Every structure is written in C-alpha cells, then in structure tokens.
Amino acid sequence: MRYLLFLLLWGTCLAQGGLSDEDVLRLVNAGREPAAQLQAVQIRSVRTTAFPGIILVGYLTGTRGCLLGTVIVDGKPLIVAKAAGEVLRARGWEKADADQRCDLARTWVEKVMLAFGETVVAERPADWPKQSRGVHFAAPDLRATSNGGVQLVTWIQEESGPDQGNSYRKNFYIFGPNGDMLRARVMERFQTEGPP
C-alpha cells in the first residue's frame, strides 16, 4: 500500500513538473556511461509558466551561460525537437489555425529555446552600428508554411559578460505540420564592441 501511495504521489509531482533537482539530474544521466555522467554544477533546470509541467535542462557552456539540451515532459527526458511536438500538440497545435500555430511556435522559441538568458530582438538595438560589416538587422519574420508548419527567422541577443559587447545571432526555426521542431539553425552572428 505504501508503494502504491508513493507511486501516486510521485506521478502527481511529475505531472506538475515537481521533480527535485536531484530527480532531474538522475533523469538526465539515465543511460549514460559512468564517465559521461553529469554533475549538478554542470546543468541548470528551469520551469516556464508558458508551458506548465515541463522542465528545461540547460548545459553550462563556460562563460556564455547555458545551452538548452533536454526537455523533461511527463517525467521523460526528450530532445528539444521531439519535446516541441509533444508539448505543442498537447496545446492544440493540430486543431489550431495558422495564426494560432504561429503564436505557439513563437512562444516555444521565446520561453523554451531562449529560457537561459537570451531574448528575441524585435527592434534594431541602439548599439547596432549603421555600418555593420554586411550584417543587416531585420525584425522577426514569423509565418505559416503551406504544409501547416511555421517558420521563424529572428535575431537573438545572447547572454554577454560584463566586459564584452553585446552578442547577437540570427536563427532560423522550422516547425513541421505536427509541431515537431524540424530545424534550429544559426544563420549568422554579430558582436558589438565592448566598453573601452
């Protein structure tokens, strides 16, 4: 009876994203060789109110912050592309019209893909020089595709150190007709000069 009660309570915690940091680390390390096991200081986990019940796991990348690598959905660690489809379908992707799918895709990028300190840049930044070595700023371009998917091309401001200029990258995201993220690709990068 105690075992059954434990399973019921643990299942409730999973459904609510209530895993402890130790549970998250165990899930991320499941199936890894002992030499490849990650330590708690190598990952960071966050929850987003935009998609309740999921846990985003970022892997530390030196001084640049975290890189999203795993999304825990219903207690299962998934790669980001697969998690996008599961979560977006659960949010009504397959019955959504083109505008609703665009909103879901934009929210996924802003609240999941960029959850570790990066932001979509909607307007030309003040520190973006007029002459920028052939790199031109453009506002985000979000559109539905003819096959029922969505594509987004946008500049992203990366997390920067205190003595560095601002770092930007232009990313291209494609979501398929079933909500799976088919591609997330960096198209170009740009860094402004830091303080003198």
pLDDT digits (tens, 9 = 90+) for 57-101: 988 877 667 888 899 998 899 999 999 999 999 999 999 999 999
**106 confidence band (pLDDT: 50, 70, 90):** very high
Q: Looking at 25-34, 76-85, 117-126, which range is the least confident one?
A: 25-34
Measured between alpha carbons, how far is 33 from 180 in angstroms, rounded to an integer?
Answer: 29
Sketch the domain layout of the chain as residue ranges.
1-78, 95-196
DSSP secondary structure code for residue 131 in this structure: S
The tokens describing 108, both together, are: 């996924």
What global pTM score does this model have? Answer: 0.83
